[in-house]
Amino acid sequence: MKRLYADEQYPYPVVQCLRELGYDILTVQEAGKSNQRIPDTDLENL
């Protein structure tokens, strides 16, 4: 299963639901990258 990275606009309840279903998902806040205006195209390198 692919790992997922949720940006700042992604609803946290959805993150919780996906985790309950077994998905490996990291939020931008958990990664310490919030409020940095990182373009989506650069996220694959994080």
Report the pLDDT value the prediction gives residue 24, as an integer from 0 to 100: 95
Report the pLDDT value the prediction gives residue 16, as an integer from 0 to 100: 96
Q: H helices then E strands: how many in the chain?
A: 1, 2
Report the pLDDT value the prediction gives residue 11, as an integer from 0 to 100: 94
Report the pLDDT value the prediction gives residue 13, as an integer from 0 to 100: 96
- At 3-37, the pLDDT tens digits run 898 988 889 999 999 999 999 999 989 988 888 88
For residue 31, the enclosing domain spans 4-45
Structural domains in the chain (count): 1
Which two three-digit tokens encode residue 2?
Answer: 């692919």
Amino acid (1-letter code) at residue 21: L
Report the pLDDT value the prediction gives residue 45, as an integer from 0 to 100: 61
Q: Which pTM value belongs to this model?
A: 0.71
